[in-house]
Copies of this chain bind each other. A is one copy, B any other.
Amino acid sequence: MKRVDYSNTKITGGFWRKKQDLIRNVTAKAVYDRFYDTGRIDAFKCDKDCKIKPHFFWDSDVAKWIEGVAYLTKEKREPWLEEIVDSLVDEIEKNQDPCGYFNIFFTVVDAESRFKYRDCHELYCLGHLIEASVAYYEATGKDKMLNLMCKYVDYVQKVFVEEKTASFVTPGHEEIELALVRLYECTGNEKYLSLSKFFVDERGQRLEEAVSFGEQCYNQSHKPVREQSTAEGHAVRAVYLYCAMADLALKYNDESLVVACKRIFDNISKKRMYITGGIGSSHEGEAFTVDYDLPNLVSYTESCAALGLALFAHRMLLLESNAKFAHVAERAIYNGFLSSVSLDGKGFFYTNPLEILPSVLSRNASVTEHYDWMPNPQRQEVFECSCCPPNIVRFIPSIANFLYTHDDKTIYVHQFMESKTKLNVGGNEIEIEQKTNYPYDGRVEITVKGACVRMAVRVPEWCDCYDAESNGYMYYSIDEANTVISLDFKMSPRFVYANPEVLADAGKCAVTYGPLVYCMEGCDNEGHLRNMALDTESEYKIGYNSELDVPTIELTAYTREGSQSLYSFNKPKYKKTTATLIPYFAFANRGVQEMQVWHDYKW
């Protein structure tokens, strides 16, 4: 199976056009401004007298932003953005060590400790710089950054593989592994691919430097990757590794890696994933925990982890055309990832809670020094560890990456977005146009120009009006020059129930509408949300919230009204009422208030 790159596709309208415009017109600048204010941009000057001490992951923050700018540039050049990038690249060139090494922190603050601390993110930063350089080259044809990074990678190859003079064998935070595959794809130079393989193969082969969270599984070093069967440790580190594993499995046709990837994917999607596609239940270590442990109020579910899961899931489609991978990508993209950015494009969540109770946010009133961890109930413009905002800047402009894969005969349609795509399949130039108001409407019209292909269209996981033929896809033979496939994945609110092993959701239901998970917010509903119970036999009404510009769902519900004494023998009474739900991704745009994804329901 082959990828169909974002650059083959133009998002022509609908949901994602608006989001991409928002990134272009608001978010790209907003993130840049905050990065400028916090010293991240000037840090590239590597001025040792600079007042603001750089953090060792700042390179990666800006690199992800550059990568996002590249995607925006590929669609439509923005001279002011290119100017910024070019000057950053000039600074990298100026401050790169003659040997090829480049890292701001380990140049300005601690030049003696290069490749000394496993968990100090040098190779992670390099990975993002590689991705940025490839994207920027592909978007603009400018190869300066690409060449600088190749030089740096050559040095890494020397230090880690040939001379083995680094203090560790594999990096504490994965990222370079998948970036090296990308560098190989761009340059065709196989040594980059084999360096990636080196880092993946060596992971978990020995006890390496313990990181801040103590355990080897924190960064997936608890056993060789081919022996891993559960998703462990820091969720972002984990999915970045799994992406590289999937890439290498494909490139090397490595069956043992394929098997490991599938096993880990199944563990995540069947036992360790929130309904939103969020992953990493625990704030301690930002980590996976144990099967079915998916607490709502203290969910961690980092934005970057949901994004990374989508990347991993889509890569799996290159190993096996099975809709289960695209289902997970869809779930993560429209929910656990998309919630990370505010509707105005300026605010970002690091963590994406599944429940907010403002009353307990102040539960540490007596003890402010230490406190029980609670996720932030509101998005912020920027934060100290700002990996997520620039990840959003690079993810949304390249969202079309998720649309298709193909082999010589069949084009797989995994996702649905209003768009036009050109690609070459088995020597034939094919044009595909999707017309749809997805995710708000299940009607999709796919027009295929070109011949002699077969279209495989994914039946969404939530859709019950089509029967997939195999692996979750419907197949259409395209014999005519201009074929239209008209689909209607009829959308209506659906109630979802978790596996009884998910004790956090026991006795509760969630509501979905198409690919969107819906939630309740306090301002749309009376009383405490935990005291509401939905009627799952209810008629529904689709409304519209103009402030949020989203469809709402109205359902019959019951509000619990109990005694005012702390404990009472009087059973609460239920008062009929209406529950109003909004898409999960739109929560927390109207101030701090209650929010809930999993609801009680009437028997």
- Interface residues, chain A, with chain B CB atoms under 8 Å away: 212-215, 217-218, 232-234, 269-271, 273, 275, 281-285, 287-290, 292-293, 295, 298, 357, 359-360, 362-373, 462, 464, 494-503, 506-507, 509-510, 527-528, 530-531, 533, 536, 560-572, 574, 600, 602-603
B-side contacts of A536, CB under 8 Å: 571
B367 and A287 within 8 A (CB): yes
Number of copies: 2
Q: Taking the nearest CB of chain B, how far is it from the CB of A417, in angstroms?
A: 24
Q: Count chain B CB atoms within 10 A of each CB in A271, A364, A464 and give the residue with the most.
A: A364
Out of B528, B566, B600, which one reaches A271, CB within 8 Å? B566
Out of B499, B507, B563, which one reaches A497, CB within 8 Å? B563
Q: Count chain B CB atoms within 10 A of each CB in A214, A275, A369 and give the residue with the most.
A: A369
C-alpha spacing A129/B124, complex, angstroms: 59
B571 and A367 within 8 A (CB): no
Q: Taking the nearest CB of chain B, how far is it from the CB of A361, in angstroms?
A: 9
- Cβ-closest 3 pairs across A and B: A214-B369, A285-B367, A506-B530
A565 and B367 within 8 A (CB): no
A366 and B289 within 8 A (CB): yes
C-alpha spacing A231/B531, complex, angstroms: 26
B217 and A366 within 8 A (CB): yes
B499 and A565 within 8 A (CB): yes
Q: Taking the nearest CB of chain B, how far is it from the CB of A164, in angstroms?
A: 28
Q: Taking the nearest CB of chain B, how far is it from the CB of A347, in angstroms?
A: 26
C-alpha spacing A74/B533, complex, angstroms: 57
B-side contacts of A496, CB under 8 Å: 567-569
Knowing A359-B290, A528-B501 touch, does A367 contact B215 (C-beta < 8 A)? yes
A566 and B363 within 8 A (CB): no
B506 and A289 within 8 A (CB): no
Closest-by-CB residue of B relative to A517 is B567
C-alpha spacing A88/B367, complex, angstroms: 37
Q: 15 A-B pairs, CB-CB below 8 angstroms?
A: A214-B370, A283-B372, A284-B364, A288-B366, A289-B363, A289-B365, A293-B359, A293-B363, A359-B501, A359-B503, A498-B568, A499-B563, A500-B572, A506-B530, A506-B600
B-side contacts of A507, CB under 8 Å: 507, 530-531, 533, 560, 600
Knowing A502-B566, A507-B600 touch, does A369 contact B497 (C-beta < 8 A)? no
B562 and A497 within 8 A (CB): yes
Knowing A507-B531, A507-B533 touch, does A359 contact B572 (C-beta < 8 A)? no
Out of B363, B497, B561, which one reaches A571, CB within 8 Å? B497
C-alpha spacing A290/B368, complex, angstroms: 13
Q: Taking the nearest CB of chain B, how far is it from the CB of A3, in angstroms?
A: 28
B-side contacts of A565, CB under 8 Å: 270, 499
Q: Count chain B CB atoms within 10 A of each CB in A283, A365, A567 and give the residue with the most.
A: A567
A574 and B603 within 8 A (CB): yes
C-alpha spacing A502/B363, complex, angstroms: 13
B-side contacts of A569, CB under 8 Å: 462, 464, 494-497
Knowing A290-B360, A497-B572, A503-B359 touch, does A213 contact B528 (C-beta < 8 A)? no
B-side contacts of A363, CB under 8 Å: 281-282, 289-290, 293
B562 and A498 within 8 A (CB): yes
Q: Taking the nearest CB of chain B, how far is it from the CB of A354, in angstroms?
A: 13
B-side contacts of A561, CB under 8 Å: 500
A270 and B566 within 8 A (CB): yes
B-side contacts of A365, CB under 8 Å: 217, 232, 289-290
B495 and A367 within 8 A (CB): no
B215 and A366 within 8 A (CB): yes
Knowing A215-B366, A366-B233, A369-B214 touch, does A357 contact B503 (C-beta < 8 A)? yes
B-side contacts of A562, CB under 8 Å: 497-500
B-side contacts of A283, CB under 8 Å: 372
Q: Taking the nearest CB of chain B, how far is it from the CB of A442, in angstroms?
A: 15
Closest-by-CB residue of B relative to A371 is B284
B372 and A282 within 8 A (CB): yes
A528 and B499 within 8 A (CB): no
B-side contacts of A360, CB under 8 Å: 289-290, 293, 295, 503
B-side contacts of A510, CB under 8 Å: 567
A213 and B367 within 8 A (CB): yes
B-side contacts of A214, CB under 8 Å: 367-370
